């Protein structure tokens, strides 16, 4: 069986990754047979191995010699030990638990369910893959860049002789998304081919790499501050840090940065930083996102309604709302993205077991109890703060009782089944008080004070239907129709009792703090436009949930920003759909440890607030913030058409401001022809921002097209309040919100308060 080999490249990549000689990684590099599981009948052996580039897994069918396939380690989201996917649970018995594992891919690619020959082999595969995935995820920008370039070189080295002739160099340049004329390619080649052999190898390839990756913009910045014998001394570096980066650092901090990032020992001893060390510093610490906001930094002791909460709609769906599959995997993916409110559409199933799916459609069904098990397993993997289960209940009394039974027995002590304190509260508990707990949002027959005055408790009875459920049937059934509610299900609803919205005045006078209304996007948007201040005050006291219109059968999303502008907390989006709206959601919840909770600005937490995003007060209009951005360059943008090696992108950058209506604007650079490797724009933009606390900034890179809409290349979204001044690198994420290794933007930012 022919298998790809590239010995010395593999050795170099091994040294770069620090994994050379690792027992588990060596095992999966040697490869072996694994049984791939697709169904009860389709279970076939395949040969798998990690290639020497440390970034590609290759496999070949035993019966179909010559049919080779690969997938990138960068496409792996996680590796799960045991039968932790729907496929393995359905098609493989418990006896093989220790030999099973699954490779979970980013995006919509199906999981790869596998069985190893022994538990020891499974352990090698799981640990080895986890080490490689973890290594790739924690690469510095410099490491990502080098690894990507050397991997492209390996692919261009068609005869695997670890040398590159001129034809291979030209192929390589197209692979890395740069179009150069033949004369220029030949010129660089001759410059590097010092021994005149007609091929590049060893040090010659490194010289070629050095010329290729030279960044003129970094040279310009460095030369401006390199005032100590043409090097950047500690005082020079401090000048740069204070006056360009606007960081409050000392000379001792500058000394430490030199010790940390400078590779030249002589320069390090002289307390100087070379150009290479300076670039290393900029790539590692010169990021646009404020590192002080990376971990939990906000006050987590305020009532739940004082936070924006990352929320999912139709969480069970992997695709559209008409015929797409329902899966526990969709819940796992949402929770692993930091989602803290998931939706469960519950219907009667066979054999007394309730199911979850999009009712009256062809979407597949998933057992309610399997969803609860998945939530139990993954609720607190990435965030310790509470998860809300938003129940859409269409079940009979008996199956409602079954729902309550499963939640109580599976979730155990994590499920909130009674108020936290001994006395009747006056506000919702805080995220900190609810750490590791799961709340149920749904219909409830009792008031919260029944726990402190049991005489007022009600038995099984009728309640009005949830707004969203009623909306689905409004053609044939009055919205205020009643449904039977089981006492057992009602009793697990404590702090999130669903009620109808009857207007802000009614809510102010009659709605308790633990009661929340769900509003369709169109109704919420109308209220955000016509009664913004009343909406703001309402959300300062109570929770609101917003959900997409039922007409969005393609699982598209609405713009969440107007809802956040009036303080709506549970703004539910279709997490399964890649779009600008999900980029904004990812951006809003990027800070604070990505825990799914963001403290709302003070003016959105005040019950007597005068804030109106549509008509800013004179005080807010006077407090303008000026946002200067110079888009300088990009690095190693991905190819969009990988099937055509000669297809090179023509990139441009769009800077978008999302916030209150008076702040929302976008500006674009010109496009660069045929250069996705290191295009340079040097274009300046100026934005006036009135409400920085509600502003999101989105940087999008597009491939210019004269005949049709520009194609999306990558984006990065973050809160304006998390932006750092100075020269900054910006990572880029693909359509599905996953980091694009090695790609990025380089900008200069200056934020000023107007006089």
Q: Is the dihedral of CA 456, 460, 463, 465 positive or negative?
A: positive
DSSP state of 428: P
190 labelled binding-site residue: no
3-state SS track over 500-530: CCCCHHHHHHHCCCCEEEEEEHHHHHHHHHH
Catalytic residue among 171, 313, 394, 538: 313
Residue 315 and residue 400 in contact, taking contact as beta carbons nearer than 8 Å: no
Strands 341-347 and 387-393: parallel
704 labelled binding-site residue: yes
537 labelled binding-site residue: no
728 labelled binding-site residue: no
Residue 746 and residue 588 in contact, taking contact as beta carbons nearer than 8 Å: no
52 labelled binding-site residue: yes
- CA–CA distance, 283 with 552 (Å, rounded to integer): 41
Give the contacts of 129 (CB within 8 A, at least 6 positions apart).
28, 50, 73, 76, 79, 103
63 labelled binding-site residue: yes
44 labelled binding-site residue: yes
Element (H, E) at 690: none
441 labelled binding-site residue: yes
Exposed/middle/buried for residue 571 (C-beta within 10 Å: 0-12, 13-18, 19+): buried
60 labelled binding-site residue: yes
- CA–CA distance, 593 with 293 (Å, rounded to integer): 7
348 labelled binding-site residue: no
716 labelled binding-site residue: no
For helices 532-541 and 521-530, angle between their N-to-C axes, nearest 10 degrees: 110
59 labelled binding-site residue: yes
In the residue annotation, 358 being an active-site residue is answered as: yes
Helices (H) and strands (E) in the chain, counts: 24, 32
Distances from the Cα of 25 to the Cαs of 81, 431, 641, in angstroms? 17, 41, 32
Residue 140: HSE in the Cβ half-sphere, 13 Å Cα cutoff:
12
218 labelled binding-site residue: no
Helix, strand, coil percentages, rounded to 5, for the chain: 35, 25, 40
DSSP state of 271: T
443 labelled binding-site residue: yes
Distances from the Cα of 484 to the Cαs of 268, 459, 501, 515, 711, in angstroms? 75, 11, 20, 19, 51
62 labelled binding-site residue: yes
- CA–CA distance, 514 with 421 (Å, rounded to integer): 14
Q: Match 């409050």 to its residue by tokens.
A: 248
648 labelled binding-site residue: yes
357 labelled binding-site residue: no
456 labelled binding-site residue: no
Catalytic residue among 147, 306, 358, 406: 358
In the residue annotation, 183 being an active-site residue is answered as: no
Q: State how far Cα 244 lies from the chain centre.
A: 30
247 labelled binding-site residue: no
54 labelled binding-site residue: yes
269 labelled binding-site residue: no
DSSP state of 721: G
275 labelled binding-site residue: no
182 labelled binding-site residue: no
Distances from the Cα of 589 to the Cαs of 78, 303, 307, 335, 736, in angstroms? 21, 18, 11, 13, 16
422 labelled binding-site residue: no
22 labelled binding-site residue: no
Give the contacts of 627 (CB within 8 A, at least 6 positions apart).
657, 686, 687, 688, 689, 697, 720, 749, 751
- CA–CA distance, 330 with 335 (Å, rounded to integer): 9
61 labelled binding-site residue: yes
41 labelled binding-site residue: yes
509 labelled binding-site residue: no
Known binding-site residues for Ca(2+) equal: 314, 343, 345, 392, 648, 650, 674, 703-705
Give me the active site residues, please.
313, 358
Known binding-site residues for substrate equal: 36-63, 441, 443, 518, 545
Known binding-site residues equal: 36-63, 314, 343, 345, 392, 441, 443, 518, 545, 648, 650, 674, 703-705
């Amino acid at each position: 069986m022919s298998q790809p080999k590239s010995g010395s490249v593999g050795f170099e990549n091994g040294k770069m990754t620090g994994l050379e000689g690792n027992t588990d990684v060596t095992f999966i590099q040697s490869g072996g047979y694994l049984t791939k599981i697709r169904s009860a009948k389709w279970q076939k052996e395949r040969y798998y191995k990690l290639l020497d580039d440390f970034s590609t897994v290759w496999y070949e069918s035993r019966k179909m010699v010559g049919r080779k396939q690969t997938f990138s380690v960068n496409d792996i989201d996680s590796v799960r030990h045991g039968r932790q996917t729907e496929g393995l649970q359905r098609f493989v018995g418990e006896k093989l638990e220790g030999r099973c594992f699954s490779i979970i891919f980013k995006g919509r690619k199906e999981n790869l369910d596998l069985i190893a020959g022994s538990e020891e082999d499974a352990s090698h595969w799981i640990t080895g893959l986890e080490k490689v995935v973890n290594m790739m995820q924690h690469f510095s920008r410099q490491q990502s860049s080098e690894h990507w370039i050397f991997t492209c070189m390996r692919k261009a080295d068609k005869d695997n002789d670890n040398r590159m002739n001129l034809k291979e160099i030209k192929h390589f340049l197209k692979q890395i998304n740069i179009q150069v004329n033949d004369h220029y390619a030949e010129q660089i080649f001759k410059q590097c081919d010092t021994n005149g052999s007609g091929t590049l190898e060893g040090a010659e390839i490194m010289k070629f790499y050095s010329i290729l990756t030279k960044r003129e913009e970094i040279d310009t910045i460095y030369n401006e501050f390199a005032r100590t014998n043409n090097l950047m001394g500690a005082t020079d570096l401090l000048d740069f840090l204070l006056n360009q980066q606007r960081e409050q650092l000392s000379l001792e901090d500058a000394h430490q940065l030199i010790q940390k990032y400078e590779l030249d020992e002589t320069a390090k001893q002289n307390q100087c930083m070379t150009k290479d060390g300076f670039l290393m510093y900029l790539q590692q610490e010169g990021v646009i996102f404020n590192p002080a906001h990376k971990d939990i930094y906000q006050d987590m002791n305020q009532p739940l309604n004082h936070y924006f909460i990352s929320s999912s709609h139709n969480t069970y769906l992997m695709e559209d709302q008409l015929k797409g599959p329902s899966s526990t995997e969709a819940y796992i993916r949402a929770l692993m993205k930091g989602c803290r409110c998931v939706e469960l559409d519950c219907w009667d199933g066979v054999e007394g077991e309730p199911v979850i799916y999009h009712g009256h459609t062809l979407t597949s069904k998933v057992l309610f109890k399997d969803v609860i098990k998945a939530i139990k397993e993954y609720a607190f993997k990435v965030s310790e703060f509470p998860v809300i289960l938003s129940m859409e209940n269409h079940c009979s009394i008996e199956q409602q009782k079954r729902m309550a039974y499963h939640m109580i027995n599976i979730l155990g002590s994590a499920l909130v089944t009674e108020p936290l304190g001994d006395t009747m509260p006056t506000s919702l508990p805080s995220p900190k008080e609810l750490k590791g707990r799961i709340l149920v949002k749904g219909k409830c027959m009792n008031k919260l004070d029944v726990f402190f005055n049991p005489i007022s408790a009600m038995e099984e009875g009728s309640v009005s239907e949830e707004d969203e459920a009623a909306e689905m049937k409004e053609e044939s059934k009055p919205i205020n129709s009643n449904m039977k509610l089981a006492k057992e299900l009602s009793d697990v609803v404590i702090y999130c009792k669903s009620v109808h919205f009857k207007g802000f005045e009614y809510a102010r006078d009659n709605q308790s703090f633990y009661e929340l209304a769900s509003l369709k996007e169109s109704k919420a948007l109308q209220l955000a436009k016509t009664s913004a201040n009343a909406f703001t005050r309402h959300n300062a006291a109570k929770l609101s949930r917003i959900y997409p219109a039922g007409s969005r059968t393609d699982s598209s999303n609405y713009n969440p920003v107007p809802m956040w502008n009036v303080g709506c907390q549970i703004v539910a989006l279709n997490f399964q759909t890649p779009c600008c709206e999900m980029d904004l959601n990812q951006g809003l919840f990027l800070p604070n440890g990505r825990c799914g909770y963001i403290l709302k600005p003070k003016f959105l937490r005040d019950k007597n607030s005068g804030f109106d995003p549509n008509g800013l007060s004179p005080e807010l209009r006077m407090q303008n913030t000026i946002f200067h951005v110079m888009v300088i360059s990009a690095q190693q943008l991905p190819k969009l058409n990988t099937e055509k090696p000669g297809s090179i992108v023509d990139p441009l950058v769009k800077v978008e401001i999302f916030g209150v209506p008076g702040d929302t604007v976008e500006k674009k650079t010109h496009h660069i022809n045929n250069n996705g490797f290191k295009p340079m724009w040097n274009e300046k933009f100026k934005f006036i921002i009135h409400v920085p606390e509600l502003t999101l900034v989105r940087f999008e890179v597009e491939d210019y097209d004269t005949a049709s809409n520009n194609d999306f290349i990558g984006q990065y979204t973050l809160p304006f309040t998390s932006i750092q001044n100075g020269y900054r690198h910006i990572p880029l994420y693909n359509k599905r919100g996953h980091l694009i290794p090695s790609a990025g933007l380089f900008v200069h930012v200056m934020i000023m308060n107007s006089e």
